[in-house]
Amino acid sequence: MDTASAPPRALRLRLRHLRDRLLVALCLVALALAVIPLVWVLWEVVGVGVRHVSWEFLTTLPQPPTVGGGGWANAIVGSVVVVGMAMVMGVPVGVATGIYMSEYGDNLLGKSARFLSEVLAGLPSIVAGIVAYGLIVVTMGRFSAVSGSAALALLFIPIVAITTQEALKMVPGHQREASFALGVSEAATTLRVVLPAAMGNVLTGVMIATARIAGETAPLLFTAFNSRYWMEGVDRPTATIPVNIYSYAISPFEHWHQQAWAGALVLLAMVLALNVAARTLWARRARFMAGD
Amino acid sequence: MAEQMITRDLKVSFGDHQAVKGVDMEIRPRAVTAIIGPSGCGKTTFLRALNRMHDHTPSARVSGEVLLGDRDIYGDGVDPVELRIRVGMVFQRPNPFPTMSIRDNITFAPKRHGLAKGKALDDLVERVLRQAALWDEVKDRLGASAVGLSGGQQQRLCIARALAVEPRVLLMDEPASALDPTATQRIEDLIYELKKDYTIVIVTHNMQQAARVSDYTAFFYMGLLVEFGETDGLFTNPREERTEAYITGRFG
Amino acid sequence: MSRSVAPLPGRDGRARRHLRQRWFRYATGALALLVVVVVLLIVQQLWVQSRPTWSEWGLGFLVRTTWNPVQGEFGALPFIAGTLLTSLMALLIAVPISIGIAILLSEYAPRRLRDPLIFVVELLAAVPSVVFGLWGIFVLAPLVQQHVMPVVAASPLGLLPFFGEPGPGYTLFTASLILAVMIIPIIASLSREALMAVPRDQKEAALALGATRWEATRHVVLTYARGGIFSAAVLGLGRALGETMATTMTIGNRVNLTLDYFQSGYSMTAIIANELREAASEIHVSSLVAIGLVLFLISFLLNSLGRLLLMRTHTPGT
Ligand SMILES: Nc1ncnc2c1ncn2[C@@H]1O[C@H](COP(=O)(O)OP(=O)(O)OP(=O)(O)O)[C@@H](O)[C@H]1O
Ligand SMILES: [Mg+2]
């Protein structure tokens, strides 16, 4: 029996192994297809951007395209302010929502907040812009930094809420029980016991959410809008890096295209730094938690 | 069809924890060999070394020899896929494929190995289901999902599935531990039937079960093979004190 | 002193203690409620602002094909079509690639390589879309125009109605490619999670029957995880529909109802991005917001569907 069926079976086995290897190779190709664009984008942004980033670019105001030179200092400041205000609006709401969902959320409100946070996390960013436009820009009668921040906060809150919830859920239940058993109130239990234990992961979530909104462009186009001057107030149109990249990129001026690449490098550096910092924080945290 | 297996100085470690510490054992063909011992003594680890399941655990290291017939299964040029066609395994927890029908659970492997097609495949399904004493219960719903079966039926399906590959050796890791007495009884009957054609190794926590179904018994303790011999002798007249302590229930 | 009896808590005392114990729950709950209110606010805003358009054309707005701000004629069909065409093509490209990556990471990659590779794939998700757009304008679009479209057009694919004469660099096709790159990370990482959630004993059962690693993956692991992978694709589609900058910068921005991927087109997000800040008439603004409302509803549906499926597939016992 063995002799009769051995050759075809052996051949078949060889083919099966071949197919196994072939498909792993295909999976590697798939990975390459994802990694190549990433490397390529980074390569272009760094390669072209580095040639056009200069002290002048970082510290001076834009010049008209015919003049040449000039910089994006106002946009850099604008981005920091707009993102910063979005965080001020978003962190309390996001973290509190995360706390509620994790600690007290076993009810209709908790379930709705969880579901809607997840749905909001997939909200097209431009829709957030439309809402801020209708509520703030139309009401105030002009574009403003604060309307841009409000739009970004809409995108920021669900991410922070979800990551905070997940971070708190990872804290073992016995720590809460120990605290309750000592007669400590809910507020103190959460703020002094649970939140500190989860702080690393909560911060990671905040950083990732910040990185995400720092690169957002679409909702700012018709909220924060743009400006050639230093920021004049949070109720005024304000330049930001992402919007500048867009408007310079679609302009007809070679000189502006170069500045768009330089701006992209600055933005990418900020966003990636936030991401890498968040990951390493998280990795250290994970190792710490596994260790005890 | 049945083949014997011999292990020589078999060691398995996970990271720096050695779970099996040098076991020499001869597993006879057409017989049932039971492995007993307290929890964590390395029974499962030993069993999984016999069909190279540790290949898929990154932290596991295996050394020593395991002969199937006269060939070392860890030697050069041995294909683990081919090995597992000859050495089948049934796990402690029934693990039928939930996305497949009862029939597809059984035909999955024979189709891959090209063992049968068409009518011959149907016959194969019927034969192994009869062998596993499941045919009468499922013959009218072969197309139904395997998750609809009871725990005992699922485990017999897993046995049938393993038999469909026509292995020489069948490894069973506490196959009846999750089952009620009736289902256990059926599996024991089945093992008794199967040993006419197969070499069977069964891990069990249940001493009565070992005594009922096996011809040889191995007693493991802390990764070592403490005592190995004919079941009757080992249970009635153990040579080692630790064996006696274990089978009389003084520890474990 | 030791004899003095503590006053029994009266109604007031109990209520106060209750509040002291629970104020935090109510405070955080109020903010959680705010999230719910925000969603309602979004719907309300989109609805109120788009009213004029709905009262002018009703649902007919969705199938009207003209878009002429000067004459006050507006219709959403070219944009809906452009969005669907680019998103579906992006999905078609991204899903197989993402599944390949997910399989590689969950089944094959050695432990030491796994985490760095996951990190790299997630970095892709961190690149802002305007940066992809910039790259799309100056690098990808010229490349696609010169080297990719002619090849596709000359291949058997060129016989399909979807691929006509190679056109300019800024086309539905270019936008689809960028979108595909951008949604790969989310589909790949959700699929990987689905694959890694498959019980180990399933894979071992297949291997113990003599399946090769690929066969175990393909016939057992992948089918077991298919629900999770499907919801990953749904969520990826939602992402592609809502993506703005990369699309706006590469799609060509031409109101053009076509099935031909090699022509310039327009998307729902791009028309809003381009015209909302300058829209002068009420009906123009409201038509842009109406497109936003449709976009919101589609992405809300897709996201809800994706999340619900994900919840169902991750509930044990199903
Ligand atoms: N994958 C693994 N990684 C690390 N250690 C493991 C692994 N599998 C088993 N071990 C360790 O090896 C030792 C033996 O485990 P094994 O599962 O073989 O015991 P057992 O005799 O089958 O026990 P039980 O009767 O409870 O099933 C245990 O200490 C266990 O912790
Ligand atoms: Mg065991």
What CATH number does the domain containing C155 carry? 1.10.3720.10
In a domain? residue C26: no
pLDDT at residue B227 is higher than 60: yes
Number of domains in chain C: 1
Q: Going by CA atoms, what residue is nearest to atom 8 of ligand 1?
A: B45
- Whole-prediction pTM value? 0.90
In a domain? residue C18: no
Between strands B224-230 and B87-90, the pairing is unpaired
Backbone angles phi, psi at B170, to 5 degrees: -120, 120
Between strands B17-27 and B169-173, the pairing is unpaired
Query: pLDDT-derived band of residue A3, with 50, 70 and 90 as boundaries?
Result: very low
Tell me if chain B has a CB within 8 Å of the CB of C212.
yes
In a domain? residue C27: no
Tokens 């898929």 -> residue: B56
In a domain? residue C240: yes
Tokens 């292995």 -> residue: B167
Q: Which amino acid belongs to residue A19? A: R
The model's pLDDT over A113-142, given as tens digits with 9 standing for 90+, comes to 999 998 889 899 999 999 999 999 999 999
Q: Is the Cβ atom of B57 under 6 angstroms away from ligand 1?
A: yes
Q: Please give the distance, rounded to the nearest whole angstrom, from the Cα atom of residue B42 to the centre of ligand 1.
A: 6
User: What pLDDT, on the 0 to 100 scale, is given for residue A251?
Assistant: 93
Q: Going by CA atoms, what residue is nearest to atom 14 of ligand 1?
A: B42
Question: Strands, E, within C191-310: which ranges?
Answer: none
Tokens 């002018």 -> residue: C56
Q: How far is the C-alpha of C281 from the C-alpha of A254, rounded, in Å?
A: 34
Summarize chain A as % helix, strand, coil (round to 5).
80, 0, 20
Q: How far is CA B140 from CA B126, B132, B134, B161, C147, in A?
A: 12, 16, 11, 18, 59
Mean pLDDT of B175-192: 85
The model's pLDDT over C185-242, given as tens digits with 9 standing for 90+, comes to 999 999 999 999 999 999 999 999 999 999 999 999 999 999 999 999 999 999 999 9
The model's pLDDT over C152-170, given as tens digits with 9 standing for 90+, comes to 888 888 888 888 887 788 9
Quickly list DSSP for A206-238: HHHHHHHHHT--GGGTTTT---SSS---TTS--
Residue percentage of chain A with pLDDT more than 70: 94
The model's pLDDT over A27-83, given as tens digits with 9 standing for 90+, comes to 999 999 999 999 999 999 999 999 999 999 999 999 988 888 889 999 999 999 999
Residue A98's SS3 state is helix
In a domain? residue C163: yes
Q: Going by CA atoms, what residue is nearest to atom 2 of ligand 1?
A: B14
Q: How many CB atoms lie within 10 A of CB B93?
A: 16
Q: Which amino acid belongs to residue B13? A: S
Ligand nearest to the CA of B19: 1
Q: Is the Cβ atom of B42 under 6 angstroms away from ligand 1?
A: yes
Ligand nearest to the CA of B43: 1
ipTM over 0.85: yes
Q: How far is the C-alpha of A35 from the C-alpha of C123, rounded, in Å?
A: 10
Quick one: tokens of A40? 């390529």
Per-residue b or e along B44-60, where b marks 16 or more CB atoms closer than 10 Å to that residue's CB:
bbbbbbbbbbbbbeeeb
Residue B180 or B227, more confident? B227
Mean pLDDT of A200-213: 92
Query: Given an 8 Å threshold on Cβ–Cβ distance, is B82 in contact with C223?
Result: no
Domain B5-95+167-247, CATH among 3.10.129.10, 3.10.100.10, 3.40.50.300, 1.10.10.10? 3.40.50.300
In a domain? residue C84: yes
User: What pLDDT, on the 0 to 100 scale, is given for residue B79?
Assistant: 92
Q: Is the Cβ atom of B19 under 6 angstroms away from ligand 1?
A: yes
Q: How many CB atoms lie within 10 A of CB A26?
A: 15
In a domain? residue C38: no
Q: How many CB pairs under 8 A join A and B?
A: 12
Residue percentage of chain B with pLDDT more than 90: 73
User: What pLDDT, on the 0 to 100 scale, is given for residue A291?
Assistant: 38
**Cα-atom radius of gyration of chain A, to the nearest Å?**
25
Q: How far is the C-alpha of B28 from the C-alpha of B2, rounded, in Å?
A: 9
Of ligand 1's listed atoms, the one at least distance from the Cα of B59 is 3
Quick one: tokens of A55? 């002290």
Q: How far is the C-alpha of C188 from the C-alpha of C94, rounded, in Å?
A: 9
Per-residue b or e along A33-65, where b marks 16 or more CB atoms closer than 10 Å to that residue's CB:
bbbebbeebbebbbebbeebbeeebeeeebeee
Mean pLDDT of C76-82: 97
User: What pLDDT, on the 0 to 100 scale, is given for residue A1?
Assistant: 42
Quick one: tokens of C249? 């910068």
Q: Please give the distance, rounded to the nearest whole angstrom, from the Cα atom of residue B14 to the centre of ligand 1.
A: 9
The model's pLDDT over C27-50, given as tens digits with 9 standing for 90+, comes to 999 999 999 999 999 999 999 999
pLDDT at residue B184 is higher than 90: no
Domain region containing C99: 61-313
Q: How far is the C-alpha of B138 from the C-alpha of B150, rounded, in Å?
A: 11
In a domain? residue C202: yes
pLDDT at residue C313 is higher than 80: no
Q: Which of B93, B100, B109 is nearest residue C209 as measured by Cβ atoms?
A: B109
Element of type H or E holding C285: helix C282-314
DSSP state of C37: H
Per-residue b or e along C18-34, where b marks 16 or more CB atoms closer than 10 Å to that residue's CB:
eeeeeebbeebbebbbb
Q: Which residues of B, range 64-123, sit inside 8 Å of A by Cβ? A: 79, 81-82, 112-114
Choose among B37, B32, B5, B29: nearest CA to B215.
B32
Closest chain C residue by Cα to residue B106: C209
